[in-house]
Amino acid sequence: MTTWRKMGKPKPKLPAGAGAPVSPAAPLRRSQRLVSAAAEPSGAVLAGGSGKLSPIRLLGKKRRFHFCANAPAWAAICCGGGDAKQLDPAPAQDVDWANLGDGPAGLIADLLLANDVADYVRFRTVCQPWRRCSPDPRAGGLDGRFLPRRWIMLDKAITANPRCHRFLNISTGESIRMDLHELAEHKFLALTPEGLLLLLHEPTRIIRLLNPLTRQLTNLPSVASLRSMEEWFGIQVYGVGLADASTVAVCFSHPRVLAVAKPGDVCWTVVHSGYLHSTLPYAGRFYCCVGKRLMVLNTTTDQQPPRLMVAAERSSRIYFSQMSDSLHLVDNAGELMMVHRSLYQDSEHNYKRKYQLYRVDLDAGAFVPAKGFNGRAIFMGCRRTISLAAETFPSISADTLYLGYDFDESKMIDEYNDLADDSSDETHPFSIVDCLSHCIQRNGEELA
């Protein structure tokens, strides 16, 4: 860090013929000030250096600025003095940004894509040369670079267009509106943790994934092989996510099965039959809770079909009731956690809900009790969880669990439960808390 050392202020010395020294109390004329600046200077010098600085007083200013005698010409111009005033300003140059070149434009596109796919899409809409030097995200399929992981769909925007929806960037707080004309041709089933929309094309019964920012539609197999003709009209989904770079895992209802498929497959592959308490794609793999165990979907072996494998097991000291309790997996900024929602009876024989937090240690295959969310806030619904940085949204409290509207214990407006002291406070209607508590209901099918 540059430090400054004040020097003594000697009496000003004027060159021969400049007249008698002017009293410090008397204001200097402009000619006298310039002469004084050209004389032997006084003032401040850089600590450890020998270059003296010349004091220049700007007209109409009381503050004293200093610039070094060997500073570039533009520095003297900015300070308002010196011979540099005689230089002509550089002529303005028009830059043809469209012809920036594939190298610089491609580098800018890569930097934008590394930050947010929305910025990348905006960059490509500027001009055709910029689109030429950046890959088309609609040709990437399920390429992880183009997934809108930071964006969630809130609800329908207040416009005359029924297909217009609001999207929120949970990292920056930015909100945008998107006209999703694809919803007019499909039935909306669920939102995925990767920011995609799971759709059903009812005439063909084909499942599709829509990227709302790039507008890429990815075709998956028809559900005709999973359901009878009488059942497929009421199809529901309670869990969905990517099991790897190209495999989609979906938890269907009626029949209740976990099935996987890749783009281009003819049919779905059933992996598990029965109810799964919670599902979550995490670190490129698909996790789910089955009974007392945390299972991971293994799709990496070509010789064997996809199957569930044990990733962690809860201790026998953790009591879990299939009838009244529920488990909820959370991706808390790269850390896998689980919330155990249980029912207990207090001293007055009133039934209340209790929430216990665990950190999942995948290396040890165990659940470790935790006391908070590392300064973040968690919005939890029956089937979805969202982790937010509290500093991004001032109205959200850190280390706090917010409940979705689909929980019985959630009140008319909603309430949040502080894990530190088990306190509850009501939130204001139409706040960001209300929007998020609404959009995490089930898998978001109420938002269509």
Q: What sign results for the dihedral spanned by CA atoms 428, 432, 433, 434?
A: positive
Do both 103 and 52 map to the same domain? no
Do both 127 and 66 map to the same domain? no
| Model pLDDT, residue 262 | 95
The 10s digit of each residue's pLDDT in 337-394 is: 999 999 888 888 888 899 999 999 999 999 999 999 999 999 999 989 999 999 999 9
Q: Which domain holds residue 102?
A: 97-135
DSSP string spanning 132-144?
HTS--GGGSTT-G
Q: What is the mean pLDDT of the chain?
A: 78
**What's the pTM?**
0.74
Do both 71 and 130 map to the same domain? no
Do both 81 and 111 map to the same domain? no
Residue 64 lies in a domain: yes
Residue 351 lies in a domain: no
Residue 214 lies in a domain: no
Tell whether the model's pLDDT for residue 3 goes beyond 70: no
Do both 80 and 8 map to the same domain? yes
Do both 12 and 54 map to the same domain? yes
Residue 35 lies in a domain: yes
Least confident of 99-113, 158-172, 274-288: 158-172
Mean per-residue pLDDT, 249-268: 92
Residue 33 lies in a domain: yes
Between 385 and 428, the higher pLDDT residue: 385
Residue 68 lies in a domain: yes
Tell whether the model's pLDDT for residue 43 goes beyond 70: no
Residue 121 lies in a domain: yes
Name, in order, each residue with C-beta under 8 angstroms of 49's C-beta and a sequence gap of 6 or more: none
Tell me the sheet residues that pair with 389.
376
Domain count for the chain: 2
Residue 366 lies in a domain: no
Do both 56 and 119 map to the same domain? no
Do both 11 and 65 map to the same domain? yes
Kind of pairing between the strands at 415-418 and 400-403? antiparallel
Do both 19 and 39 map to the same domain? yes
Do both 67 and 39 map to the same domain? yes
Q: Give the separation between CA 290 and CA 92, rounded to whole angstroms.
A: 68
Tell whether the model's pLDDT for residue 167 goes beyond 50: yes
Tell whether the model's pLDDT for residue 61 goes beyond 50: no
| Model pLDDT, residue 90 | 62
| Model pLDDT, residue 77 | 39
Q: Are 61 and 53 in contact (CB under 8 A)?
A: no
The 10s digit of each residue's pLDDT in 429-440 is: 468 888 888 888
Task: Give percent of the chain with pLDDT exceeding 90.
Answer: 51
